[in-house]
Protein backbone atom coordinates (compact mmCIF):
# COMPACT_ATOMS: atom_id res chain seq x y z
CA UNK A 1 0.00 0.00 0.00
CA UNK A 2 2.94 2.37 0.57
CA UNK A 3 3.34 2.79 -3.18
CA UNK A 4 0.18 4.91 -3.17
CA UNK A 5 2.27 7.88 -2.01
CA UNK A 6 3.06 10.65 -4.52
CA UNK A 7 5.81 13.26 -4.92
CA UNK A 8 4.04 15.32 -2.23
CA UNK A 9 5.27 12.81 0.37
CA UNK A 10 8.67 14.54 0.47
CA UNK A 11 7.16 17.53 2.23
CA UNK A 12 3.62 16.74 3.31
CA UNK A 13 0.78 14.34 2.76
CA UNK A 14 -1.59 15.49 0.02
CA UNK A 15 -5.02 16.68 1.13
CA UNK A 16 -7.95 14.74 -0.33
CA UNK A 17 -11.47 16.09 0.03
CA UNK A 18 -14.24 13.48 -0.12
CA UNK A 19 -17.74 14.80 -0.89
CA UNK A 20 -20.56 12.27 -0.47
CA UNK A 21 -23.99 12.51 1.16
CA UNK A 22 -23.80 8.98 2.64
CA UNK A 23 -22.09 8.71 6.04
CA UNK A 24 -21.06 5.08 5.50
CA UNK A 25 -19.31 5.95 2.23
CA UNK A 26 -17.47 8.83 3.86
CA UNK A 27 -16.31 6.62 6.74
CA UNK A 28 -15.21 3.81 4.43
CA UNK A 29 -13.18 6.03 2.10
CA UNK A 30 -11.71 8.09 4.93
CA UNK A 31 -10.49 4.96 6.76
CA UNK A 32 -8.89 3.66 3.57
CA UNK A 33 -7.05 6.88 2.79
CA UNK A 34 -6.05 8.23 6.21
CA UNK A 35 -2.81 6.20 6.53
CA UNK A 36 -1.48 7.90 3.40
CA UNK A 37 -3.31 11.20 2.97
CA UNK A 38 -4.82 14.06 4.94
CA UNK A 39 -8.52 13.36 4.43
CA UNK A 40 -11.26 15.97 4.69
CA UNK A 41 -14.94 15.05 4.30
CA UNK A 42 -18.13 16.91 3.44
CA UNK A 43 -21.62 15.38 3.32
CA UNK A 44 -23.01 17.77 0.68
CA UNK A 45 -21.85 19.70 -2.35
CA UNK A 46 -22.54 22.97 -0.58
CA UNK A 47 -20.34 22.03 2.40
CA UNK A 48 -17.59 20.82 0.08
CA UNK A 49 -17.51 24.15 -1.74
CA UNK A 50 -17.64 26.01 1.58
CA UNK A 51 -14.62 24.07 2.84
CA UNK A 52 -12.66 24.97 -0.29
CA UNK A 53 -13.68 28.60 -0.03
CA UNK A 54 -12.62 28.77 3.60
CA UNK A 55 -9.24 27.17 2.95
CA UNK A 56 -7.92 29.17 0.03
CA UNK A 57 -4.30 28.85 1.22
CA UNK A 58 -4.56 25.08 1.79
CA UNK A 59 -6.86 23.70 -0.85
CA UNK A 60 -7.26 19.97 -1.46
CA UNK A 61 -4.85 18.38 -3.85
CA UNK A 62 -7.61 16.13 -5.16
CA UNK A 63 -11.38 15.74 -4.73
CA UNK A 64 -13.38 12.50 -4.68
CA UNK A 65 -16.91 13.54 -5.60
CA UNK A 66 -20.24 11.73 -5.58
CA UNK A 67 -22.78 12.69 -8.25
CA UNK A 68 -26.23 11.97 -6.77
CA UNK A 69 -26.64 14.22 -3.74
CA UNK A 70 -29.45 16.41 -2.37
CA UNK A 71 -29.05 20.07 -3.31
CA UNK A 72 -26.01 20.51 -5.50
CA UNK A 73 -25.20 17.44 -7.53
CA UNK A 74 -21.63 16.38 -8.24
CA UNK A 75 -22.03 17.82 -11.72
CA UNK A 76 -23.03 21.18 -10.21
CA UNK A 77 -20.08 21.17 -7.84
CA UNK A 78 -17.62 20.39 -10.63
CA UNK A 79 -19.09 23.12 -12.83
CA UNK A 80 -18.56 25.68 -10.07
CA UNK A 81 -15.02 24.50 -9.44
CA UNK A 82 -14.11 24.81 -13.11
CA UNK A 83 -15.67 28.29 -13.30
CA UNK A 84 -13.45 29.55 -10.48
CA UNK A 85 -9.90 30.52 -11.44
CA UNK A 86 -8.67 29.56 -7.96
CA UNK A 87 -10.05 26.00 -8.13
CA UNK A 88 -10.16 25.13 -11.81
CA UNK A 89 -7.00 23.01 -11.66
CA UNK A 90 -7.95 20.85 -8.67
CA UNK A 91 -8.33 17.31 -10.10
CA UNK A 92 -11.75 15.78 -9.48
CA UNK A 93 -12.49 12.05 -9.59
CA UNK A 94 -16.15 11.09 -9.65
CA UNK A 95 -16.83 8.25 -7.21
CA UNK A 96 -20.41 7.18 -7.86
CA UNK A 97 -22.91 4.36 -8.20
CA UNK A 98 -23.96 5.74 -11.59
CA UNK A 99 -22.48 3.24 -14.06
CA UNK A 100 -24.20 4.36 -17.25
CA UNK A 101 -21.62 5.24 -19.94
CA UNK A 102 -23.56 8.45 -20.69
CA UNK A 103 -23.10 9.57 -17.07
CA UNK A 104 -19.38 8.90 -17.27
CA UNK A 105 -19.17 10.74 -20.58
CA UNK A 106 -20.93 13.76 -19.10
CA UNK A 107 -18.64 13.81 -16.07
CA UNK A 108 -15.49 13.69 -18.15
CA UNK A 109 -16.78 16.36 -20.52
CA UNK A 110 -17.42 18.65 -17.54
CA UNK A 111 -13.76 18.33 -16.59
CA UNK A 112 -13.40 15.36 -14.24
CA UNK A 113 -10.03 13.63 -14.56
CA UNK A 114 -11.42 10.15 -13.82
CA UNK A 115 -14.64 8.26 -13.11
CA UNK A 116 -14.86 5.32 -10.67
CA UNK A 117 -18.05 3.38 -10.07
CA UNK A 118 -19.14 1.92 -6.73
CA UNK A 119 -18.65 -0.47 -5.09
CA UNK A 120 -15.03 0.62 -5.02
CA UNK A 121 -11.98 -1.59 -5.33
CA UNK A 122 -9.31 -0.21 -2.93
CA UNK A 123 -6.33 -1.11 -5.21
CA UNK A 124 -8.01 0.61 -8.17
CA UNK A 125 -8.92 3.63 -6.05
CA UNK A 126 -5.34 4.03 -4.78
CA UNK A 127 -3.90 3.56 -8.26
CA UNK A 128 -6.23 6.19 -9.76
CA UNK A 129 -5.52 8.66 -6.95
CA UNK A 130 -1.77 8.16 -7.31
CA UNK A 131 -1.92 8.71 -11.05
CA UNK A 132 -3.94 11.92 -10.78
CA UNK A 133 -1.77 13.36 -8.01
CA UNK A 134 1.29 12.68 -10.14
CA UNK A 135 -0.44 14.31 -13.10
CA UNK A 136 -1.28 17.32 -10.94
CA UNK A 137 2.30 17.57 -9.72
CA UNK A 138 3.59 17.55 -13.28
CA UNK A 139 0.95 20.04 -14.44
CA UNK A 140 1.89 22.42 -11.61
CA UNK A 141 5.56 22.10 -12.57
CA UNK A 142 4.75 22.94 -16.18
CA UNK A 143 2.55 25.89 -15.19
CA UNK A 144 5.28 27.24 -12.93
CA UNK A 145 7.79 26.77 -15.72
CA UNK A 146 5.52 28.60 -18.16
CA UNK A 147 5.12 31.48 -15.69
CA UNK A 148 8.90 31.62 -15.34
CA UNK A 149 9.38 31.58 -19.12
CA UNK A 150 6.75 34.30 -19.59
CA UNK A 151 8.53 36.38 -16.99
CA UNK A 152 11.86 35.85 -18.75
CA UNK A 153 10.34 36.74 -22.12
CA UNK A 154 8.85 39.91 -20.62
CA UNK A 155 12.21 40.75 -19.07
CA UNK A 156 14.05 40.22 -22.37
CA UNK A 157 11.42 42.24 -24.22
CA UNK A 158 11.91 45.12 -21.81
CA UNK A 159 15.66 44.86 -22.27
CA UNK A 160 15.28 44.97 -26.05
CA UNK A 161 13.00 48.00 -25.77
CA UNK A 162 15.57 49.69 -23.55
CA UNK A 163 18.29 48.95 -26.10
CA UNK A 164 16.11 50.48 -28.81
CA UNK A 165 15.60 53.62 -26.78
CA UNK A 166 19.30 53.91 -25.94
CA UNK A 167 20.15 53.48 -29.63
CA UNK A 168 17.67 56.14 -30.66
CA UNK A 169 18.71 58.58 -27.94
CA UNK A 170 22.39 58.09 -28.72
CA UNK A 171 21.92 58.62 -32.45
CA UNK A 172 19.58 61.60 -32.07
CA UNK A 173 21.84 63.17 -29.45
CA UNK A 174 24.67 62.88 -31.93
CA UNK A 175 22.57 64.69 -34.52
CA UNK A 176 21.67 67.41 -32.01
CA UNK A 177 25.33 68.18 -31.40
CA UNK A 178 25.46 69.40 -35.00
CA UNK A 179 22.09 71.16 -35.14
CA UNK A 180 20.88 72.68 -31.87
CA UNK A 181 17.45 73.48 -33.35
CA UNK A 182 16.45 69.83 -33.68
CA UNK A 183 15.76 68.84 -30.04
CA UNK A 184 12.12 69.83 -29.62
CA UNK A 185 11.56 69.32 -33.35
CA UNK A 186 12.36 65.64 -32.86
CA UNK A 187 9.84 65.29 -30.02
CA UNK A 188 7.12 67.18 -31.87
CA UNK A 189 7.46 65.26 -35.13
CA UNK A 190 7.51 61.97 -33.22
CA UNK A 191 4.14 62.80 -31.64
CA UNK A 192 2.72 64.21 -34.89
CA UNK A 193 3.50 60.94 -36.68
CA UNK A 194 1.86 58.83 -33.99
CA UNK A 195 -1.20 61.10 -33.96
CA UNK A 196 -1.64 60.80 -37.73
CA UNK A 197 -1.09 57.03 -37.68
CA UNK A 198 -3.64 56.46 -34.93
CA UNK A 199 -6.19 58.61 -36.74
CA UNK A 200 -5.67 56.68 -39.99
CA UNK A 201 -6.00 53.23 -38.42
CA UNK A 202 -9.60 52.95 -39.60
CA UNK A 203 -8.95 54.37 -43.07
CA UNK A 204 -9.44 51.74 -45.82
CA UNK A 205 -6.09 52.58 -47.42
CA UNK A 206 -4.09 52.20 -44.23
CA UNK A 207 -6.03 49.86 -41.91
CA UNK A 208 -4.04 46.77 -42.89
CA UNK A 209 -0.72 48.54 -42.24
CA UNK A 210 -1.31 50.59 -39.13
CA UNK A 211 -1.70 48.12 -36.29
CA UNK A 212 -0.58 49.03 -32.77
CA UNK A 213 2.84 47.44 -33.22
CA UNK A 214 3.47 49.41 -36.40
CA UNK A 215 2.39 52.67 -34.79
CA UNK A 216 4.78 52.08 -31.89
CA UNK A 217 7.57 51.30 -34.36
CA UNK A 218 6.85 54.53 -36.23
CA UNK A 219 6.96 56.44 -32.97
CA UNK A 220 10.31 54.89 -32.04
CA UNK A 221 11.81 55.41 -35.50
CA UNK A 222 10.65 58.95 -36.21
CA UNK A 223 13.42 60.72 -34.20
CA UNK A 224 16.02 59.38 -36.64
CA UNK A 225 14.57 61.14 -39.69
CA UNK A 226 17.27 63.85 -39.78
CA UNK A 227 20.15 61.70 -38.56
CA UNK A 228 22.01 62.30 -41.83
CA UNK A 229 22.57 65.95 -40.94
CA UNK A 230 25.59 64.83 -38.91
CA UNK A 231 27.34 64.42 -42.26
CA UNK A 232 26.59 67.93 -43.54
CA UNK A 233 29.45 70.46 -43.20
CA UNK A 234 28.95 73.18 -40.58
CA UNK A 235 29.32 75.90 -43.19
CA UNK A 236 26.13 74.63 -44.80
CA UNK A 237 24.20 73.18 -41.87
CA UNK A 238 24.65 76.29 -39.71
CA UNK A 239 24.59 78.93 -42.44
CA UNK A 240 22.40 81.88 -41.49
CA UNK A 241 21.63 83.02 -44.99
CA UNK A 242 19.96 81.28 -47.92
CA UNK A 243 21.79 78.29 -49.34
CA UNK A 244 23.21 78.47 -52.83
CA UNK A 245 21.97 75.85 -55.34
CA UNK A 246 25.23 73.97 -54.86
CA UNK A 247 24.95 74.09 -51.07
CA UNK A 248 21.34 72.95 -51.23
CA UNK A 249 22.36 69.91 -53.27
CA UNK A 250 24.81 69.02 -50.51
CA UNK A 251 22.13 69.59 -47.85
CA UNK A 252 19.80 67.23 -49.72
CA UNK A 253 22.31 64.41 -49.29
CA UNK A 254 21.39 64.17 -45.60
CA UNK A 255 18.55 61.81 -46.58
CA UNK A 256 20.98 59.31 -48.07
CA UNK A 257 23.53 59.85 -45.29
CA UNK A 258 20.90 59.02 -42.66
CA UNK A 259 19.83 55.95 -44.60
CA UNK A 260 23.45 54.83 -44.92
CA UNK A 261 24.21 55.34 -41.21
CA UNK A 262 21.19 53.31 -40.11
CA UNK A 263 21.97 50.61 -42.68
CA UNK A 264 25.48 50.36 -41.27
CA UNK A 265 24.09 49.90 -37.77
CA UNK A 266 21.77 47.20 -39.09
CA UNK A 267 24.68 45.41 -40.75
CA UNK A 268 26.55 45.35 -37.45
CA UNK A 269 23.56 43.63 -35.82
CA UNK A 270 23.56 41.03 -38.61
CA UNK A 271 19.77 40.84 -38.48
CA UNK A 272 16.77 42.92 -39.45
CA UNK A 273 15.19 45.04 -36.73
CA UNK A 274 11.75 46.50 -37.40
CA UNK A 275 12.36 49.94 -35.99
CA UNK A 276 15.64 50.31 -37.93
CA UNK A 277 13.91 49.23 -41.15
CA UNK A 278 11.25 51.90 -40.67
CA UNK A 279 13.88 54.42 -39.56
CA UNK A 280 15.72 53.86 -42.85
CA UNK A 281 12.52 54.45 -44.80
CA UNK A 282 11.76 57.65 -42.93
CA UNK A 283 15.30 59.02 -43.23
CA UNK A 284 15.49 58.25 -46.94
CA UNK A 285 12.00 59.20 -48.12
CA UNK A 286 10.55 61.95 -45.92
CA UNK A 287 11.54 64.57 -48.51
CA UNK A 288 9.79 62.76 -51.36
CA UNK A 289 6.64 64.46 -52.68
CA UNK A 290 3.33 62.93 -53.71
CA UNK A 291 3.67 64.31 -57.26
CA UNK A 292 7.18 62.92 -57.73
CA UNK A 293 9.08 66.21 -57.50
CA UNK A 294 10.80 65.45 -54.20
CA UNK A 295 14.21 63.98 -53.44
CA UNK A 296 16.42 61.94 -53.34
CA UNK A 297 14.74 59.35 -55.60
CA UNK A 298 11.83 61.27 -57.10
CA UNK A 299 9.35 58.65 -55.88
CA UNK A 300 5.68 59.27 -56.59
CA UNK A 301 2.41 58.53 -54.76
CA UNK A 302 2.20 55.07 -53.16
CA UNK A 303 5.75 54.25 -54.26
CA UNK A 304 6.75 56.45 -51.33
CA UNK A 305 6.67 54.32 -48.16
CA UNK A 306 3.82 55.20 -45.78
CA UNK A 307 6.35 56.04 -43.07
CA UNK A 308 7.92 58.67 -45.33
CA UNK A 309 4.55 60.16 -46.28
CA UNK A 310 3.55 60.50 -42.64
CA UNK A 311 6.84 62.11 -41.71
CA UNK A 312 6.59 64.51 -44.66
CA UNK A 313 3.44 66.07 -43.19
CA UNK A 314 4.88 66.13 -39.67
CA UNK A 315 8.27 67.50 -40.73
CA UNK A 316 7.07 70.26 -43.07
CA UNK A 317 4.44 71.55 -40.65
CA UNK A 318 6.96 71.69 -37.83
CA UNK A 319 9.61 73.32 -40.02
CA UNK A 320 7.11 76.05 -40.92
CA UNK A 321 6.16 76.91 -37.34
CA UNK A 322 9.72 76.69 -35.98
CA UNK A 323 12.47 79.28 -35.82
CA UNK A 324 15.60 78.21 -37.63
CA UNK A 325 19.01 79.78 -37.95
CA UNK A 326 18.04 80.82 -41.47
CA UNK A 327 14.43 81.95 -40.80
CA UNK A 328 11.89 83.14 -38.25
CA UNK A 329 9.02 80.97 -37.07
CA UNK A 330 5.64 81.16 -38.79
CA UNK A 331 2.25 81.50 -37.12
CA UNK A 332 0.15 78.34 -36.97
CA UNK A 333 -2.62 79.74 -39.19
CA UNK A 334 -0.19 80.74 -41.95
CA UNK A 335 1.58 77.37 -41.77
CA UNK A 336 -1.76 75.56 -41.83
CA UNK A 337 -2.81 77.35 -45.03
CA UNK A 338 0.48 76.49 -46.71
CA UNK A 339 0.03 72.84 -45.76
CA UNK A 340 -3.44 72.78 -47.33
CA UNK A 341 -2.01 74.10 -50.60
CA UNK A 342 0.30 71.07 -50.70
CA UNK A 343 -2.56 68.53 -50.77
CA UNK A 344 -2.10 66.20 -53.73
CA UNK A 345 1.19 67.78 -54.77
CA UNK A 346 3.54 67.67 -51.80
CA UNK A 347 1.44 65.45 -49.54
CA UNK A 348 -0.64 62.26 -49.75
CA UNK A 349 -4.20 63.69 -49.94
CA UNK A 350 -5.63 61.31 -47.34
CA UNK A 351 -2.84 61.98 -44.87
CA UNK A 352 -3.19 65.73 -45.39
CA UNK A 353 -6.94 65.41 -44.78
CA UNK A 354 -6.14 63.69 -41.48
CA UNK A 355 -3.83 66.58 -40.63
CA UNK A 356 -6.67 69.03 -41.29
CA UNK A 357 -9.01 67.07 -39.01
CA UNK A 358 -6.32 66.99 -36.33
CA UNK A 359 -5.37 70.68 -36.59
CA UNK A 360 -6.15 71.46 -32.95
CA UNK A 361 -4.14 68.44 -31.76
CA UNK A 362 -1.14 69.43 -33.87
CA UNK A 363 -1.24 72.93 -32.42
CA UNK A 364 -1.46 71.51 -28.89
CA UNK A 365 1.60 69.29 -29.46
CA UNK A 366 3.53 72.25 -30.88
CA UNK A 367 2.80 74.19 -27.70
CA UNK A 368 3.59 71.24 -25.40
CA UNK A 369 7.09 70.63 -26.82
CA UNK A 370 8.43 74.13 -27.25
CA UNK A 371 11.95 75.06 -28.34
Average pLDDT over residues 5-24: 75
Residue 362 above 80 pLDDT?
yes
Over the chain, what is the mean pLDDT?
Answer: 87
**Domains of the chain, first to last:** 2-148 (3.40.50.2300), 177-368 (1.10.3210.10)
Cβ-contact 231, 253 below 8 angstroms: yes
Task: Quote the pLDDT of residue 329.
Answer: 80
Q: Which residue has the higher pLDDT, 371 or 192?
A: 192
SS3 258: helix
Split at pLDDT 50, 70, 90, the class of 174 is: low
pLDDT digits (tens, 9 = 90+) for 334-356: 999 999 999 999 999 999 999 99
Task: Quote the pLDDT of residue 238.
Answer: 79
Percent of the chain surpassing pLDDT 90: 61
SS3 113: coil
Which of 5-19, 131-145, 339-353: highest mean pLDDT?
A: 339-353
pLDDT digits (tens, 9 = 90+) for 89-120: 999 999 999 989 999 999 999 999 999 999 98
Q: Which residue has the higher pLDDT, 67 or 144?
A: 67
Residue 217 above 70 pLDDT?
yes
Average pLDDT over residues 138-148: 78
Instruction: Render 39-101 in DSSP notation, one character per residue.
Output: EEEESSHHHHHHHHHH-GGG--SEEEE-S--SSS-HHHHHHHHHHSTTTTTS-EEEEES---H
Average pLDDT over residues 148-160: 72
SS3 197: helix
Cβ-contact 188, 225 below 8 angstroms: no
Amino acid sequence: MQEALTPYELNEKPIILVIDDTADNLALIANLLKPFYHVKVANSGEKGLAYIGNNVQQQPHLILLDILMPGLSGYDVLTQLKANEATQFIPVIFLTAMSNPEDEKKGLELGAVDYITKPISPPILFARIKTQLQNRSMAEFLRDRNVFLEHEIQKRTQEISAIKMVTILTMTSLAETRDTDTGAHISRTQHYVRLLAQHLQQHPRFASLLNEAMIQTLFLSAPLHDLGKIGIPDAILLKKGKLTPEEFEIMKTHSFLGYKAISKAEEQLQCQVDFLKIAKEIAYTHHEKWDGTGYPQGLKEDAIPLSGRLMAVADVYDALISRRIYKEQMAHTEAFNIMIQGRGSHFDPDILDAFVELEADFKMISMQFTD
